[in-house]
Amino acid sequence: MNPPDLRTEYLGLSLAHPLVPGASPLVDHLDVVRQLEDAGAPAIVMHSLFEEQIETDWRGVDRLMLSHEESFAEATTYFPHAEDFALTPDRYLEHIARIKAAVDVPVIASLNGITTGGWITLAESMQQAGADAIELNTYFLATNPERDASAVEADITDLLVALCGAVTIPVAVKLSPFFSSLPNFARQLEAAGADGLVLFNRFYQPDIDIETLEVSPSLRLSDSSELRLRLRWAAILEGQANLDLAISGGVHTAEDAIKALMAGATTVQMVSALLKQGPGHLATVLAGVKTWMAEHDYASVAELRGCMSYRHCPDPAGYERANYLRVLQTWVVPS
Ligand SMILES: Cc1cc2nc3c(=O)[nH]c(=O)nc-3n(C[C@H](O)[C@H](O)[C@H](O)COP(=O)(O)O)c2cc1C
């Protein structure tokens, strides 16, 4: 039997296979980018450039914070300084060009922000620098009780319209899982110009230090248990809008990647696994996917994709309230 055909299309890009290193500082270093390509990465997603970096005169903010250091000492602990970001906007654009020159695979630049300010025009410079697509990360927490869900959604669609107006390359939106009606919102994003969705942002949960009464930020890398939230929503969204779905969050093993494809993902992004195990882990997971597909007679990723989505799986109730009832009712309390 022929080896399985792993090719996939994502955001109009033809990729050799679906396992893509997701946005992370790994790609800030050219030698690591080359290692990722050597491990088989079919595309490179860049670390984000943040709205705050573009919109703010950082020297001014730094001066402001220093002048208030006595009265607002805590401000210096939570507000990042210019040098905390790996790349300034100019350096970021240069880095796109450097990565493009160093590897043969498509490069997806990443913009991270939430307002429709002038910062979004930087997307045009990203395209000019050689980006093949843009991932728009809308990391946002709704904390204002005056703003309803539709206002929050409109912020994101307005931002997307502005971005899509600035570029001709494809755009994916990286979302949080917290929307009242994600399938409806996905269609709104499609209408606003999105070509794909990245499911999901991973929220870095702050902790409370009960001794110092401080809210302490913490970054914990994921494990495979975080995949399930993504599996459910990819399965539900598959085929509901004309959008490519990328799963980001909790993909560590070949089994994880296969589940993500079965749920309906077009690509599967990996970050924590590569940070923990190194860029070469991509090749290990890819080999595992290939072997599994061959052993189970799957001829192509296209055949695998979506076979367990809400539309296609034998028991769609498994993704719904019915499953919740079943799970709760079948729990046996040990006597
Ligand atoms: C150290 C670190 C830096 C990250 N930087 C970015 C970023 O700049 N932009 C972005 O969209 N996501 C960023 N992410 C989130 C990842 O792209 C990914 O969505 C998340 O880690 C979940 O995937 P994983 O379970 O494979 O780690 C970062 C994650 C980590 C751990």
Helix (H, G, I), strand (E, B) or coil at 49: strand
Has residue 317 been placed in a domain? no
Has residue 328 been placed in a domain? no
Task: Give the number of the atom of ligand 1 that is nearest the alpha carbon of residue 250.
Answer: 25
Question: If you take atom 23 of ligand 1, which residue's CA is the nearest one?
Answer: 249
Residue 73 has pLDDT above 70, yes or no: no
Q: How does residue 85 score in pLDDT terms, banded at 50, 70 and 90? A: low
Q: Per residue in 18-44, pLDDT tens?
A: 999 999 999 999 999 999 999 999 999
Give distance in angstroms: CA of 111 to centre of ligand 1: 13
Concatenate the DSSP letters of all residues of 67-99 into one string.
HTTTTTTTHHHHSPPGGGSSS-HHHHHHHHHHH
Using the CB atoms, write b or e for 103-119: b if 16+ within 10 Å. Answer: bebbbbbbbbbbeeeeb
Give distance in angstroms: CA of 174 to centre of ligand 1: 11
pTM over 0.85: yes
Give distance in angstroms: CA of 77 to centre of ligand 1: 22
Helix (H, G, I), strand (E, B) or coil at 228: helix
Percent of the chain with pLDDT over 90: 71
Please state the rounded mean pLDDT for residues 268-287. Answer: 97
Sheet holding 19-21, edge to edge: 19-21, 267-270, 244-248, 196-199, 171-175, 133-137, 107-112, 44-50
Has residue 332 been placed in a domain? no
Has residue 335 been placed in a domain? no
Residue 146 has pLDDT above 70, yes or no: yes
User: Worst-scoring range by mean pLDDT, 31-45, 78-92, 132-146, 270-284?
Assistant: 78-92
Give distance in angstroms: CA of 24 to centre of ligand 1: 5
CATH number at residue 22: 3.20.20.70
Q: Which alpha helices (H) appear in 69-204, and where do they start and end?
A: 75-78, 89-102, 122-129, 149-166, 182-192
Task: Give the number of the atom of ligand 1 that is nearest the alpha carbon of residue 270.
Answer: 26
User: Worst-scoring range by mean pLDDT, 51-65, 91-105, 254-268?
Assistant: 51-65
Concatenate the DSSP letters of all residues of 265-308 into one string.
-SEEEESHHHHHH-TTHHHHHHHHHHHHHHHTT--BHHHHTTTT
Q: How does residue 292 score in pLDDT terms, banded at 50, 70 and 90? A: very high
Task: Give the number of the atom of ligand 1 that is nearest the alpha carbon of residue 274.
Answer: 26
- Residue 152: CB atoms within 10 A of its CB come to 19
Q: What is the pLDDT of residue 98?
A: 97
Has residue 121 been placed in a domain? yes
Residue 248 Cβ inside 6 Å of ligand 1? The answer reads: yes
Give distance in angstroms: CA of 221 to centre of ligand 1: 9
Residue 123 has pLDDT above 80, yes or no: yes
Has residue 320 been placed in a domain? no
Residue 68 has pLDDT above 60, yes or no: no
Q: Using most ligand atoms within 8 A of CB, pick from 136, 202, 222, 282 the residue to mutate for ligand 1.
A: 202
DSSP structural state of residue 249: S
Residue 67 has pLDDT above 80, yes or no: no
Distance CA 313, CA 174 (A): 26
* Closest-CA residue to 195 (of 152, 149, 160): 160
Distance CA 307, CA 126 (A): 36
Residue 113 Cβ inside 6 Å of ligand 1? The answer reads: no
Residue 58 has pLDDT above 70, yes or no: no
Q: Per residue in 168-187, pLDDT tens?
A: 999 999 999 999 999 999 99
Residue 75 has pLDDT above 80, yes or no: no
**Is the bond into 72 cis (omega within 30 degrees of 0)?**
no
Q: How does residue 70 score in pLDDT terms, banded at 50, 70 and 90? A: very low
Residue 321 has pLDDT above 90, yes or no: no
Indicate the burial class of 224 (C-beta count within 10 angstroms; 0-12, 13-18, 19 or more).
Answer: middle
- The answer to whether the beta carbons of residues 261 and 211 sit under 8 Å apart is no
Greatest Cα-to-Cα distance within the chain, rounded to the nearest angstrom:
71
Q: Per residue in 205-243, pLDDT tens?
A: 788 889 999 988 778 899 999 999 999 999 999 999 999
39 or 327, which is more confident:
39
Q: How does residue 164 score in pLDDT terms, banded at 50, 70 and 90? A: very high
Give distance in angstroms: CA of 200 to centre of ligand 1: 10
Q: Using most ligand atoms within 8 A of CB, pick from 19, 20, 24, 47 the residue to mutate for ligand 1.
A: 24
Please state the rounded mean pLDDT for residues 75-92. Answer: 67
Residue 35 Cβ inside 6 Å of ligand 1? The answer reads: no
Residue 24 Cβ inside 6 Å of ligand 1? The answer reads: yes
Has residue 334 been placed in a domain? no
Q: Domain range spanning residue 242?
A: 8-310
Please state the rounded mean pLDDT for residues 317-333. Answer: 78
Residue 220 Cβ inside 6 Å of ligand 1? The answer reads: no
Number of domains the chain is built from: 1
329 or 312, which is more confident:
312
Concatenate the DSSP letters of all residues of 26-41 into one string.
GGGSHHHHHHHHHTT-
Residue 222 Cβ inside 6 Å of ligand 1? The answer reads: yes
Residue 96, token pair as written in the block:
């796109």
Task: Give the number of the atom of ligand 1 that is nearest the alpha carbon of residue 174.
Answer: 11
Pairing of strands 8-10, 13-15: antiparallel
Distance CA 161, CA 263 (A): 28
Residue 138 Cβ inside 6 Å of ligand 1? The answer reads: no
* Average pLDDT of the residues of the chain: 89
* Closest-CA residue to 239 (of 172, 135, 313): 313
Q: Using most ligand atoms within 8 A of CB, pick from 197, 271, 277, 282 the residue to mutate for ligand 1.
A: 271
Please state the rounded mean pLDDT for residues 257-284. Answer: 98
Give distance in angstroms: CA of 27 to centre of ligand 1: 11
Has residue 324 been placed in a domain? no
Residue 60 has pLDDT above 50, yes or no: no
